[in-house]
């Protein structure tokens, strides 16, 4: 099947003085899985909103199913068979599965009275169509992110969709959930539905895409068959630079001091009997599936949870870490998993977000905050971390995801930690920013005065940046390996293998 469904010709869009899209081109065939990739801020989201009718382009042409349009309205796009599943899924957490799937369809068909029997029948049929079984009366807010994705897909197929656009659909999914989603996507493809899959994860693109298009700085750089390109070429198209990364090897000696040591640490309903140590100059990785206890461990080390048993040593001295304030005094810093809800004050400026963790150190004897020094320190972190911004006084939401993550990292490095805990340090970060963050962390480790604990389920991130790797499963450490002993396939198998049973 190679008939063209959607053709974007020379579409441009400006927001004030910023050119978000500059005569971009895109061709999607019927029954094709097409990946649109590019770094944050490259124009992917703007194009999605133009295709779905949310934005009106400044110029260019949209050709859908053989008909030409200068622009589309939202209702018009829906009637043509275009559906968008955004990153937040746009589901109603207080409504049931059946209501989320069928209510919009009832409104779309202009029904004045709700037939609840029909709503349940419609929802059940939609879920059955993609081979998914979910409790129709369950509140969606109680379901996993993966199930919410599937509900959004089930809802979209009710409109006889010809094109389903998925915006970063796997950003919060485990590998098992990704496999389930990909199975549904392939089924839709077999039925002749086109999928525009928006992502910046290279492994996903190579796994699922028939064709791909790369955007960079508002321009379409290349469109090609996914089987005809290497990883290195792909990275170059996305970033405009060659990024090479070799496995990190810590240069530690036998007499190198242990900066963080954990013995028999336990947290009820979190983890049991956790023991490890990190030396200065090391990056220790901890990886495991969602729910393995990895985040609970990170939060316990930072004092957000109080351990039920076990000991924590900093610089060889036993310490109690019962609150984040105590952790900060002990020179422990924590970069959280979700920067938007845990790492940033979204209503504040870049500068204030950068200095907040170190605010007490910025106070003068009069207790007034020395904002002049804070501004100077923030400026230095911007330079050091390569943060791209207009002004420090701008709101934090003006930054791309990668630059926001660098602000969170800079905020905690401002406290001059001895132990740096990173929980998912590059989640939702594009390739270029991810490389920059990894490179900076390696540089920190090589100074040999800091211990870094990297908690991540990104296989490549762990293998390339952690000289030692611990596997956590069901709250237990099940193995320790050097990164040179593992391949990505072996590490994946270790993470998803059989369960380990041990009591505290």
- As averages over each run of 10 residues, the pLDDT of the chain (504 residues) reads 87 89 96 90 90 95 96 93 80 88 73 80 88 89 83 84 89 76 91 90 84 92 87 84 83 74 95 94 91 92 95 94 94 90 90 87 77 88 90 90 90 93 88 89 89 92 95 94 91 73 42
Residues 411 and 343: their CA atoms lie apart, in Å, by 9
Q: Is residue 228 a contact partner of residue 197, using CB atoms and an 8 Å limit?
A: no
**3-class SS of residue 373:** helix
Neighbouring residues of 343: CB distance < 8 A, sequence distance ≥ 6: 335, 336, 408, 411
Nearest-10 Cα torsion for 238, 244, 247, 250: -120
Strand ranges for 350-498 from DSSP E: 419-423, 451-455, 468-473, 476-482
The CA distances from residue 363 to 333, 356, 357, 371, 373, in Å, are 20, 11, 12, 9, 10
First to last CA, the chain: 58
Query: Residue 168's pLDDT is what?
Result: 82
Comma-separated ranges of CATH 3.40.50.300 domains in the chain: 4-239, 258-331+417-504
Q: Report the pLDDT value the prediction gives residue 167, as an integer from 0 to 100.
A: 87
Q: Is 67 helix (H, G, I), strand (E, B) or coil?
A: strand
Report CA-CA distances (Å) from 425 to 337, 388, 437, 439. Answer: 7, 18, 8, 12
Per the CB < 8 A criterion, the answer to whether 140 and 93 are in contact is yes
What is the reported pLDDT for 382? Answer: 92
Q: Order of strands, edge to edge, in the sheet holding 476-482?
A: 332-335, 419-423, 451-455, 283-287, 468-473, 476-482
Distance of alpha carbon 94 from the chain centroid: 25
Distance from C-alpha of 191 to C-alpha of 35, rounded to nearest angstrom = 18
Q: Cα–Cα distance between 201 and 199 in angstroms, integer?
A: 6
Q: What is the pLDDT of residue 226?
A: 85
Q: Identify whether the C-beta of residue 253 lies closer than 8 Å to the C-beta of residue 263.
A: no
Hey, what are 58's tokens? 């400044």
- Which pair of tokens denotes residue 391? 């002004």
Class at the top of the CATH hierarchy for domain 4-239: alpha beta
CATH class of 258-331+417-504: alpha beta
Residues 6+ apart with CB under 8 A from 163: 5, 6, 28, 51, 64, 81, 82, 83, 193, 194, 195, 196
């Amino acid at each position: 099947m190679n008939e063209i469904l959607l053709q974007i010709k020379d579409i441009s869009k400006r927001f004030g003085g910023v050119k978000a899209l500059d005569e971009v081109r895109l061709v999607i065939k019927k029954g094709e899985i097409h990946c649109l990739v590019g770094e944050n801020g490259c124009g992917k989201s703007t194009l999605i909103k133009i295709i779905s009718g949310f934005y009106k382009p400044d110029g260019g042409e949209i050709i859908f199913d053989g008909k030409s349009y200068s622009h589309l309205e939202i209702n018009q796009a829906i009637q043509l068979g275009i559906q968008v599943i955004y990153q937040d899924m746009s589901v109603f957490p207080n409504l049931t599965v059946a209501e989320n799937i069928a209510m919009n369809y009832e409104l779309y068909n202009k029904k004045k009275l709700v037939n609840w029997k029909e709503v349940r029948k419609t929802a059940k049929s939609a879920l059955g169509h993609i081979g998914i079984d979910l409790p129709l009366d369950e509140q969606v807010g109680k379901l996993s992110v993966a199930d919410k994705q599937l509900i959004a897909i089930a809802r979209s197929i009710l409109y006889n969709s010809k094109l389903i656009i998925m915006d970063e659909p796997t950003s919060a999914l485990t590998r098992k959930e990704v496999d389930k989603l990909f199975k549904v996507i392939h089924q839709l493809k077999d039925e002749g539905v086109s999928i525009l899959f928006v992502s910046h994860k290279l492994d996903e693109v190579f796994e699922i895409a028939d064709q791909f298009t790369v955007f960079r700085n508002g321009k379409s750089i290349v469109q090609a068959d996914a089987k005809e390109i290497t990883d290195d070429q792909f990275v170059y198209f996305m970033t405009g630079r060659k990024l090479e990364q070799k496995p990190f090897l810590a240069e530690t000696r036998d007499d190198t001091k242990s900066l963080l040591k954990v013995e028999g640490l336990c947290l009820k309903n979190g983890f049991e009997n956790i023991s490890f140590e990190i030396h200065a100059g090391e990056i220790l990785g901890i990886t495991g599936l969602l729910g393995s206890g990895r985040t609970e461990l990170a939060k316990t080390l930072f004092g957000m949870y109080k351990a039920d048993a076990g000991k924590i040593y900093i610089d060889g001295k036993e310490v109690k870490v019962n609150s984040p304030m105590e952790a900060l005094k002990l020179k422990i810093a924590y970069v959280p998993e979700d920067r938007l809800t845990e790492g940033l004050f979204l209503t504040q400026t870049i500068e204030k977000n950068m200095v907040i963790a170190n605010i007490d150190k910025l106070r003068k004897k009069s207790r007034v905050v020395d904002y002049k020094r804070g501004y100077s320190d923030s400026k230095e972190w911007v330079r050091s971390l390569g943060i791209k911004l207009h002004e420090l006084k701008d709101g934090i939401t003006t930054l791309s995801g990668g630059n926001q993550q660098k602000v969170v990292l800079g905020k905690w490095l401002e406290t001059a930690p001895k132990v740096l805990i990173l929980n998912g340090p590059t989640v939702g970060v594009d390739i270029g920013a991810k490389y920059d963050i990894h490179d900076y962390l390696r540089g920190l480790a090589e100074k040999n005065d800091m211990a870094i604990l990297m908690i991540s389920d990104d296989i490549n991130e762990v293998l390339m940046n952690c000289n030692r790797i611990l596997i956590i499963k069901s709250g237990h450490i099940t193995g320790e390996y050097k990164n040179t002993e593992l391949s990505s396939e072996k590490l994946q198998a270790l993470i998803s293998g059989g369960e380990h049973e041990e009591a505290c």
